[in-house]
Structure 1
């Protein structure tokens, strides 16, 4: 996939940028129930931003393509810069609010989230086209579904035309046309998203493989089904592998999927095979969930290397299934 102008290791992320409002609760409330919480916090978030920060911290030249509102723009722009993410293609929209997410986090590390996309839903295809020069020299383009579908389609199409490896993280869950899946070299749904896309209920490794093969039949180049604390299943046209998770005690699972996708992009941007990139995704997701906040637990390159020196990668040894 290399081209004459390709810069190895460059990642472009097209997606959402949020401010996350956290409240800790003893347990997640039932419908109609009010419970007392504690530990209120405001932190940078959004699937696109989380994934970009993950790549930036790992030392990859990373470009964010996104839109902010009239509020919180300086907070979020400074956060990108401090995490080595270029903001050349982050636009400030004075006519709307920044995307926000309200997150309830239980003492067991589970979460419940509602969000208002705000400026995210004003990220337009033309915004992506303005970033054509950097997309063209990227190794990987990574995108999600918290921005308009036509913008996602433009990003994938432009990258595909330029020979850039494309990753579609189909989150939040929704149905997608096969025409969009055909533009993705790798599709990375979790269990819920895989069910929404394929109709296959992912209960175990066998059904994850079934869902992955259905995604390939729908046009995806390959599929990586993430299974939370169990690990991930990698399905290509030739093989299927189960990659076990690194077992840790979770503090906060918010952003675990984003951490996995950042790790996957990190591996692919360095030329690793998909299953090896998925192993790195599992390691980075494990590191993330040991800390509070969608971005705080994302490791810097030095932290990852120190963790790997302890032999942690061996815990993710894949099994052909």
Structure 2
């Protein structure tokens, strides 16, 4: 059986508004649809792993408010282990307003100010039986402590490097052996430039596998001193919210299943595409059979 995957970082209650076009400044816009859904990089990755049949734990924190209760309920329903979750008395769970246009592209406004950031909120878990630890950059203190603990135990470590302070990125990338940037995160780390040049500059500062996700353009991977592309799977997206988080979760599961990095990247790409096609927040997470069918269809 594949070992457990621990996902460390943020969980968010997303309030999602579907619109005909992105709002203009000073103009009221009527939503075509609305839903509340779980979100956040680490939490969404954990839900994706569980939907794919993996064993996922979320180490994060929520407030003792209605949003926190909704996240806990949703994650438990999706089969994620919450024994490492901290519920903060008087805390305000992270919330986000997500605006989605018909193409599936979205804009997000996040409030992360309502929770403490101390790494002491992490569980005193010995990481027994853990195959991979995945951390995001949105809870830097927790990510750094968890990555150090996993490194000391020889556990594979994946960093979802989706933007942040350069100093934080320097510390966290040094602790991971697989660093997968978003385009925003890569620019924050090395500055603006042509994307392949950015990836080369990042790889010169990071040991191990380094990659960048590029949405519908697929992803680029620095492996064995060269850049290798992994194409995206062509789909008609319903909603791209959380697809990068799904990608990271599926990639971590692929590594836990002993897939080589490029095979794990292909598996992650198919999972993210299936999620974009389905939409529906966490309830739209694809199962393993749907992802396998997408991969087989692309091969034929």
Shift in Å, 1:296: 2.9
Q: What SS does the corresponding residue of 2:108 show, helix, strand or coil?
A: strand
Residues of 2 paired with 1:46 and 1:33: CA distance? 29
User: Paired residue for 1:86, among 81, 87, 93?
Assistant: 81
RMSD: 1.9
CA contact (8 A) 1:27 1:108 kept: no
State the Cα deviation string for residues 93-149 of structure 1 (Å, max 9, x = none). Answer: 121111101011111211110111255x42431222x2432x3431111111222x2
CA contact (8 A) 1:19 1:98 kept: yes
Q: Where in structure 2 are the equivalents of 1:36-115 lying within 5 Å?
A: 36-71=30-65, 72-115=67-110
State the Cα deviation string for residues 140-193 of structure 1 (Å, max 9, x = none). Answer: 11111222x222111111111111111111124442353321111111112222
| Cα 1:195–1:297 shift into 2, 3 Å | same
Give the match for residue 297 of structure 2: 311
Give the match for residue 288 of structure 1: 275
Residues of 2 paired with 1:98 and 1:158: CA distance? 26
Alignment pair present for 1:267 and 2:261: no
Q: What SS does the corresponding residue of 1:295 show, helix, strand or coil?
A: helix
Q: What SS does the corresponding residue of 2:277 show, helix, strand or coil?
A: coil
Q: What SS does the corresponding residue of 1:85 show, helix, strand or coil?
A: coil
CA contact (8 A) 1:68 1:97 kept: yes
CA contact (8 A) 2:219 2:231 kept: yes
Q: Where in structure 2 are the equivalents of 1:115-194 lying within 5 Å?
A: 115-118=110-113, 121-128=115-122, 130-133=123-126, 135-147=127-139, 149-175=140-166, 176-194=168-186
Please give the TM-score of this superposition, normalised by the length of structure 1.
0.86
Please give the TM-score of this superposition, normalised by the length of structure 2.
0.92
Structure 1: which 5+ residue stretches go unaligned? 1-6, 316-321
Residues of 1 paired with 2:14 and 2:184: CA distance? 22
* More displaced stretch, 47-56 vs 238-247: 238-247
State the Cα deviation string for residues 49-90 of structure 1 (Å, max 9, x = none). Answer: 111100111111111101111223332222112212101011
Residues of 1 paired with 2:147 and 2:201: CA distance? 20
